Amino acid sequence: MREVFHKYRDIEIRAPRGTALNAKSWLCEAPLRLLMNNLDPEVAENPKELVVYGGIGRAARNWECFDRIVECLKNLEEDETLLIQSGKPVGVFRTQRDAPRVLIANSNLVPHWATWEHFHELDARGLAMFGQMTAGSWIYIGSQGIVQGTFETFVEAGRQHYGGDLRGRWLLSAGLGGMGGAQPLAATLAGASALLVECQQSRIDFRLKTGYLDEQARDLDDALARIARYRGAGRAVSVGLCANAADILPELVRRGVRPDLVTDQTSAHDPLNGYLPRGWSWVEYRERASRSPAATVAAVKRSIAEHVQAMLAFHELGVPVFDYGNNIRQMAKDEGVENAFDFPGFVPAYIRPLFCRGIGPFRWVALSGEAEDIHRTDAKVKELIPDDPHLHRWLDMARERICFQGLPARICWVGLGQRARLGLAFNEMVRRGELKAPVVIGRDHLDSGSVASPNRETEAMRDGSDAVSDWPLLNALLNTASGATWVSLHHGGGVGMGYSQHAGVAIVCDGTDEAAARIARVLHNDPASGVMRHADAGYSEAIACARERGLKLPMLGDA
Amino acid sequence: MREVFHKYRDIEIRAPRGTALNAKSWLCEAPLRLLMNNLDPEVAENPKELVVYGGIGRAARNWECFDRIVECLKNLEEDETLLIQSGKPVGVFRTQRDAPRVLIANSNLVPHWATWEHFHELDARGLAMFGQMTAGSWIYIGSQGIVQGTFETFVEAGRQHYGGDLRGRWLLSAGLGGMGGAQPLAATLAGASALLVECQQSRIDFRLKTGYLDEQARDLDDALARIARYRGAGRAVSVGLCANAADILPELVRRGVRPDLVTDQTSAHDPLNGYLPRGWSWVEYRERASRSPAATVAAVKRSIAEHVQAMLAFHELGVPVFDYGNNIRQMAKDEGVENAFDFPGFVPAYIRPLFCRGIGPFRWVALSGEAEDIHRTDAKVKELIPDDPHLHRWLDMARERICFQGLPARICWVGLGQRARLGLAFNEMVRRGELKAPVVIGRDHLDSGSVASPNRETEAMRDGSDAVSDWPLLNALLNTASGATWVSLHHGGGVGMGYSQHAGVAIVCDGTDEAAARIARVLHNDPASGVMRHADAGYSEAIACARERGLKLPMLGDA
Ligand SMILES: NC(=O)c1ccc[n+]([C@@H]2O[C@H](COP(=O)([O-])OP(=O)(O)OC[C@H]3O[C@@H](n4cnc5c(N)ncnc54)[C@H](O)[C@@H]3O)[C@@H](O)[C@H]2O)c1
Ligand SMILES: NC(=O)c1ccc[n+]([C@@H]2O[C@H](COP(=O)([O-])OP(=O)(O)OC[C@H]3O[C@@H](n4cnc5c(N)ncnc54)[C@H](O)[C@@H]3O)[C@@H](O)[C@H]2O)c1
C-alpha cells in the first residue's frame, strides 16, 4: 500500500520555550525547536503548507515527514545522527558525540537534470522538496535575518554612489515576502525613503503589522506624492503600493521618474510560484500554475522581461540598479533580453569585500524564548567588539525597530575571529546562568565560504571560478568534521534550480566544555573557509586577512 | 607574480613501503602512500601527466600541487584536516582526532555550468581537475579494482541469458584502458572468450604484459578465426585487436557476425580526450584536440553515433547488449541517435540487486607493500565468510591470475555486515602483528549508496529518483561524521561532466582501539546508506535487508 502524504495541515506550530527538554539533549532540542520555529506563523510565509519563505522553500517535505522528524529528534541519542533527504527523515545512524546530530541534503539534482521542470516532476511524485537556504536547514529567523544584510547593502550603495548620505534619497523595489519584506525597514534604517511594489495585499498588511513598512499608498500617484513629500522633508519613510511591478516600473520609466536606487525582490527565481504576470490576480496565477504550468511560466517570463527592461532603462539613465539575488536577469535573458546582465548583482557590487574577511550573516537564537536573553547577548557583543560604531548602531536600531518573530533572535554581520569569540562568550554566559537557556548559532547559506552561485554570491569572481562548487561542499564536510550540531547541503537556493549550490551550519552553545571545543573549531573553520575561498581566487583583502589570522593555505605564495 | 604550474614531469613515483612512517601517523601516511600509489607507473595510465585512469582522471591538479600535498600530509597533525579542491591543497584546519585527515572535493560545478565546455575553460586556466572516481580520491588500485565488478557483471549476464554457462560464448567489446583493461580477464575468468578492440598498441601491450589479455590478432579476419577456434574447443581465451571500434563494429554487423554479449569501455564519456574518431591516428587526435577542440568533439561524436548504431543492430538481433558505464548512449543520442537508450545500462541489468544489500566494490591495500599481507587477508576473508563458494572462487582466481599493480591490494564485492566484520578483523590482524603494516580499506564511488548517475548507477530507479543527488552528499557527510580517514565528493566521474555526483571513502586499520571504533561505524554506515537509498526507492530486497540488519529508516512503513 502506498501511503498518502499531506502538504497542507490546518495547524499552528510554535517551538517549545523554557528549560524543559523535549529531546534527550540540548543538541537535539535545538534542531527540534528551530524546525518548529521555522513554521511559527510569526515566522513562516505559509506555514500550513510548510512554506517558510522564498517561493516554496519548505522546512519538511510533507506533514507526515514533519511528524516523523519531530519524533526522531525527540528520541535521538547523543551519539546518533539523523539524515534528512529533501525534507524527509531517511535514516538514523550511530556516529559520535562530537559529530553533527542532523545532516541535511535538500533539492540536490545531478546537473544535467537540475532544472525546475525535472524538480516539479519529482515534487509531484513526492520525491522532492525545495529547501531554499535556511528554510530546509531550520535556521530562518523571519525577516530580521535579512534586515542587516539589506541594511549593509543599502549603506554600502549609499557610500559608493551618494557620499555616504542617503538623506532625501529614495529606493524603488518590489516584493514584500520573507526576504523582500526587510527592504523598507533596511532602507529607512539606512536613511532613505522607499517605494515598495507588492502585488499581494496580505503581504503588505503583514509588513505594516510588524513595523517593517511604514505606510501604504492608495495608488501610484499617491505613492509618488508621498515620496516627494518625505524627500523634501529629509525624512526616511517607506511606502507600500499594492500593484504589479511589471506594470509600475515601465510606467515610472514612461513618466520620467528617477529613483536613486533600483532593485527587486520578487521571487523571480521561481516563475511557477513566485512572480505574478501582468494582468493576472494572484488567485488566478495559483490556479493556472497548477492547471497549465508551461503556459504560466511563459506568461511570467514575458512579464519579467518587461520588468527587467524597465530596470535597464533606469540603469541607462545612470541610476544605480542592482539585482538583489533573485535571478531576475537570467530569467529575462532566457526570454531574449540580451543585455539583462548590464546591471550588476549586489554581491560583487557591495558585499564581496566583506566576504573576503569572512564577514557574513552570523545569527543566533535564544532557545529559552526570552527576549531578555537576546538583549544580554546584544550587550555582550558590544562589550567584546567595543570599537565598531557601525555595529553598535545596528544593534541599537535592531533592538528599537525590529520585532522578534518566533524565538527571539539576533543577526549581526561579523567575521573571522569575531564569530568564534562571540560563540565562546555566549557559551560561557549559558554556563554561568546569565542566559535562561542555551543559544543556537547559525548563519545564512549566503555567506563567505558556503555558496557557489554564479548569478549571485560568486558572480564575477576575480579568477573566473564563479561556477566551481567544490567550495561549498568542502565547507559542509569541514563543518561536519569540526562537530557542528547540524549541517546542510542544498541546491538551487535564492536563484533557483541549476544556479546554485550551498551549505548551512548551526551550532549549539549549551554551556559545556564539549560545546566550547566545538564552537572554537566550527566558528573559526567556517568563516576561515570563506577567507580561503576568496584568497584562492586572488582577492588581496582575503590574502591579507588569511596572513593576519595565520590561516594555513598551502598554495598561497609569498607574492 | 603569477606562478607557473606544470602538468607534465619526467618522474617515476612509487609509494614508500614498510613500517617506517614518513608522516606523523598512519592516518596521514595512508593517504600519502595511496596518492603516490595512484601515480605508480604500474598503476596509472599516464602518470607523468598525473593521469590515473578514465580519460583525464587525475590524482592532483599539477605537479606543484602534488608536491605541496605530499608536504602537507607529511606534516599534518593528528587533529588536523587537509582540504583538497580539484586536486589542489587549499587549506589545513584543526578538527578532531576522530575526524577525517583529508576532505576532497573534485570537479564540482554548479549545474547550469556543469558541461565539458566550461570545465575545459576552467582547466585551461588552471582552475579545474577531473577527479574521475578513484583517481582524485586516491584509492585506485589498477585494473584489479574493476576486475571483480566486471567478472560479477559477466557472470550475472551469463546467468540471465545463457543459463549460467558461458562456455563456448564470446564477448565483443572495445577499450583496454584502466577500467576496460579488466574486460578480457574478467571474461575468461567467467568462462567466455572475448574480442577486444583497442586503438592504441601501447594499451594492448600493457594488458598482454600484465596477463589481463591473452593474445593479439593481426587483423579482423585473424581475430574472428581465433575466436571461432576457441569457441569450438570450449576454451576461454581473450584476443586483442588494434583497430578502431567505430570501424570494426559496423563491419561485424555487415558481415553478419553474431557475438554472445556486446558492450564497450572506450572513454566515450569524454569526447575531447577519450574516444578516437574513425580514420584518425591517436597522435593526430591529441594534436587536433588541442588545436581545434570543437571540431574534434564533433568528429568524435559522429564516430560514436556509428558505433552505437552497430550496437543497436546487435541488440535488434537479440544479442544481449549493454552500456558499460561510459555514457556512450547519451553521446550518440546527442548526435541524433534517437533510440540510443534501447539497450540497458549494466547497473539496472545486472548490478542493482547487489546494491540493494549494500554489496559493492570493497577493497583494501597493504601499506607494507608485501604481497603476503594480502594473502593473509584473503585467508581471513575465507575464514570469516566460509559459506560463499562464489566468493572463494573469486579469491582463488584473483590470487592465481591477478598481478598486483603498485601496492598489493584486493577487491572483493561484499555487503552490509560483512564489510564491518572484515574491517575489524583486519584491524585486529594489524594489532596482533599478523600483518606487517596497517591496511587501508576503501571502495569505488560506483557503490550502493554513494552515487547519483542517471545514465549508469541510478538508471531507471524504481521510483524515478535517478537524478536525486541528495544521497551521495549524505553519504559523504555521514562518512565524515563517522570518522573515515578520508572522504571525497566528485562530479562527472564515469559518465562525464553534468551526468553524475558521487562520494568516496577510505579508512585506515592501524590496529588501535580508536581505529576499531571508527571502522565499526564507517564500514556499517557506508553500505547501510546504500541499503537505505534503495529501500527508500522501494526495492523489496533492500527493504528486507534493512529489516534484517535493524536499520533505523524512519519513513519505512510496515507494508
Ligand atoms: N538578496 C538576498 O540576500 C536574498 C536572500 C534570499 C533570497 N533572495 C531572493 O529574493 C527573492 C524574494 O525572496 P522572498 O523570501 O521575499 O520571497 P517570497 O516568495 O516570500 O516573496 C516574494 C514576493 O514578491 C511578490 N511578487 C511576486 N510577483 C510580483 C510582481 N509581479 N509584482 C509585485 N510583487 C510581486 C509576492 O507577492 C511575494 O510577496 C527570492 O528570489 C529569493 O531567492 C535574496
Ligand atoms: N563500468 C564501470 O564499472 C566503469 C567504472 C569506471 C569507469 N567506467 C567507464 O569506462 C570507460 C573506460 O574507462 P577507462 O578507465 O578504461 O578509460 P581509459 O581512457 O583509460 O581507456 C579508454 C581506452 O579506449 C581506447 N579507445 C578510445 N577510442 C577508441 C576507439 N574508437 N576504438 C577503440 N579503442 C578506443 C583508448 O585508446 C583507451 O585505451 C570510461 O568511460 C569510464 O568512465 C566504467
Report the CATH number that the domain containing residue B464 is assigned in CATH. Answer: 3.40.1770.10
Q: Is B365 in the pocket of ligand 2 (CB under 6 A)?
A: no
Cα A329 to ligand 1 centroid, rounded to whole Å: 14
Distance (Å, whole) CA A392 – CA A141: 21
SS3 A465: coil
Neighbours of A227 (CB within 10 A): 22
Distances (CA, A) of A417 to A422, A531, A534, B273, B284: 9, 11, 16, 46, 55
Is B554–A500 a contact, with Cβ atoms under 8 angstroms apart? no
Min Cα distance B443 → chain A (Å) is 19
The residue ranking higher by pLDDT, A556 or B84, is B84
**Beta-strand runs (E) in B97-164:** 102-106
Residue for grid cell 590515473: B52
> Stretch A158-172: mean pLDDT, rounded?
94
Of all residues in chain B, the percent with pLDDT exceeding 70 is 99
SS3 A410: strand
Distance (Å, whole) CA A18 – CA B395: 60
Mean pLDDT of chain B: 96
Does the pLDDT at position B338 exceed 60? yes
SS3 A401: helix
Could you give the number of structural domains in chain A?
2
Does the pLDDT at position B27 exceed 50? yes
pLDDT given for residue B557 in this prediction: 67
Binding-site positions of B for NAD(+): 54-55, 132, 178-180, 198, 203, 244-245, 265-269, 275-276, 324, 494
Nearest CA to ligand 1 atom 6: A494
Which residue range is the domain that position B372 belongs to? 352-548
pLDDT given for residue B373 in this prediction: 98
**Domain harbouring B280, CATH code:** 3.40.50.10730
Q: Is B145 in the pocket of ligand 2 (CB under 6 A)?
A: no
Neighbours of B383 (CB within 10 A): 9
Distance (Å, whole) CA A513 – CA B555: 35
| pLDDT, tens only, A383-431 | 999 999 889 989 999 999 888 999 999 999 999 999 999 999 999 999 9
pLDDT given for residue B2 in this prediction: 53
B138 located within any domain: no
> Stretch B473-502: mean pLDDT, rounded?
97
Same domain for B411 and B444:
yes
**From the candidates A65, A412, A509, A545, which is the catalytic residue?**
A412
Same domain for B159 and B200:
yes
Instruction: Write out the H or E segment, with its range, that includes residue B533.
Output: helix B513-536
Closest by CA to A172, choosing from A344, A319, A281, A343, is A319
**Which of A65, A110, A498 shows the shortest C-beta gap to B453?**
A110
State the pLDDT confidence band at A559, using cuts at 50, 70 and 90. Answer: very low
State the pLDDT confidence band at A98, using cuts at 50, 70 and 90. Answer: very high
Please answer whether residues B542 and B463 qualify as being in contact, where contact means their C-beta atoms are separated by less than 8 angstroms: no
Does the pLDDT at position A373 exceed 80? yes
Same domain for B370 and B331:
no
Same domain for A262 and A395:
no
A558 located within any domain: no
State the pLDDT confidence band at B205, using cuts at 50, 70 and 90. Answer: very high
pLDDT given for residue B401 in this prediction: 85
| pLDDT, tens only, A104-115 | 999 999 999 999
3-state SS track over A328-393: HHHHHHHCCCCCHHHCCEHHHHHHHHHHCCCCECEEEEECCCCHHHHHHHHHHHHHHCCCCHHHHH
Residue for grid cell 554556563: A431
Q: Sign (positive/negative) of CA torsion A30, A31, A33, A37?
A: positive
A21 located within any domain: no
* CB hemisphere CA count around A507 (13 angstroms): 33
Please answer whether residues B484 and B416 qualify as being in contact, where contact means their C-beta atoms are separated by less than 8 angstroms: no
Is B122–A497 a contact, with Cβ atoms under 8 angstroms apart? no
Which residue type sits at A507? I
Same domain for B393 and B306:
no
Does the pLDDT at position B1 exceed 70? no
Distance (Å, whole) CA A439 – CA A429: 10
A84, closest residue in chain B (CA to CA): B474
State the pLDDT confidence band at A157, using cuts at 50, 70 and 90. Answer: very high
Site to probe by mutation for ligand 2, drawn from B50, B152, B179 as the one with most ligand atoms within 8 Å of Cβ, is B179
Q: Is A57 in the pocket of ligand 1 (CB under 6 A)?
A: no
**Which of B83, B86, B464 shows the shortest C-beta gap to A478?**
B83
- Domain end point (choices A344, A369, A403): A344
Closest by CA to B376, choosing from B319, B289, B439, is B439
A217-226, B168-177, B387-396, B422-431: segment of lowest average pLDDT: B387-396
Does the pLDDT at position B92 exceed 70? yes
Residue A232 burial class via C-beta count within 10 angstroms: exposed 0-12, middle 13-18, buried 19 and up:
exposed
Q: Is A345 in the pocket of ligand 1 (CB under 6 A)?
A: no
Does the pLDDT at position A1 exceed 80? no
The residue ranking higher by pLDDT, B325 or B382, is B382
Nearest-atom number in ligand 1 for the CA of A200 is 37
* CB hemisphere CA count around B206 (13 angstroms): 22
| pLDDT, tens only, A505-523 | 999 999 999 999 999 999 9
Residue for grid cell 551549505: A503
Min Cα distance A422 → chain B (Å) is 19
> Stretch B316-322: mean pLDDT, rounded?
97
Q: Which three cell numbers stand for residue A547?
A: 596572513
Distance (Å, whole) CA A144 – CA A397: 12
pLDDT given for residue B3 in this prediction: 65
Please answer whether residues B241 and B216 qualify as being in contact, where contact means their C-beta atoms are separated by less than 8 angstroms: yes
**Beta-strand runs (E) in B308-394:** 362-366
> Stretch B354-379: mean pLDDT, rounded?
97
Kindly state the DSSP code that residue A209 receives in the 8-state scheme: H
B15 located within any domain: no
B315 located within any domain: yes
Same domain for B70 and B200:
no
Residues 6+ apart with CB under 8 A from A555: A536, B64, B65, B68, B88, B89, B90
Does the pLDDT at position A227 exceed 60? yes
Nearest-atom number in ligand 1 for the CA of A246 is 31
Q: Cα-atom radius of gyration of chain A, to the nearest Å?
A: 22
**Which of A113, A469, A480 shows the shortest C-beta gap to B108?**
A469
Please answer whether residues A144 and A402 qualify as being in contact, where contact means their C-beta atoms are separated by less than 8 angstroms: yes
ipTM score assigned to the predicted complex: 0.90
Does the pLDDT at position B559 exceed 50? no
pLDDT given for residue B55 in this prediction: 85
Distances (CA, A) of B318 to B161, B194, B202, B309, B337: 11, 18, 34, 14, 19
Same domain for A289 and A218:
yes
- Domain end point (choices B314, B329, B349): B349
Distance (Å, whole) CA B252 – CA B170: 14
| pLDDT, tens only, A127-142 | 999 999 999 999 999 8
> Stretch A72-76: mean pLDDT, rounded?
98
Q: Which three cell numbers stand for residue A74?
A: 525527540
Does the pLDDT at position B414 exceed 70? yes
Of all residues in chain A, the percent with pLDDT exceeding 90 is 92
pLDDT given for residue A314 in this prediction: 98
Neighbours of A18 (CB within 10 A): 11
pLDDT given for residue A393 in this prediction: 86
Same domain for A101 and A168:
no
**Beta-strand runs (E) in A14-169:** 51-53, 57-58, 80-85, 88-94, 102-106
pLDDT given for residue B389 in this prediction: 85
Nearest CA to ligand 1 atom 38: A177
Kindly state the DSSP code that residue A88 receives in the 8-state scheme: E
DSSP β-bridge partners for residue A486? A102, A506
Same domain for A513 and A424:
yes
State the pLDDT confidence band at A2, using cuts at 50, 70 and 90. Answer: low
pLDDT given for residue B207 in this prediction: 94
Please answer whether residues B363 and B442 qualify as being in contact, where contact means their C-beta atoms are separated by less than 8 angstroms: yes
B23: left (phi over 0), alpha (psi -120 to 50) or beta: beta
Does the pLDDT at position B303 exceed 80? yes
Same domain for B183 and B117:
no
Same domain for A300 and A428:
no
A454, closest residue in chain B (CA to CA): B110
- Domain end point (choices B349, B383, B400): B349
Please answer whether residues B299 and B431 qualify as being in contact, where contact means their C-beta atoms are separated by less than 8 angstroms: no
Distance (Å, whole) CA A61 – CA B426: 42
B443 located within any domain: yes
Min Cα distance A10 → chain B (Å) is 22
Same domain for A156 and A112:
no
In angstroms, how far is CA A154 from the centroid of its own chain? Answer: 16
pLDDT given for residue B524 in this prediction: 98
A19 located within any domain: no
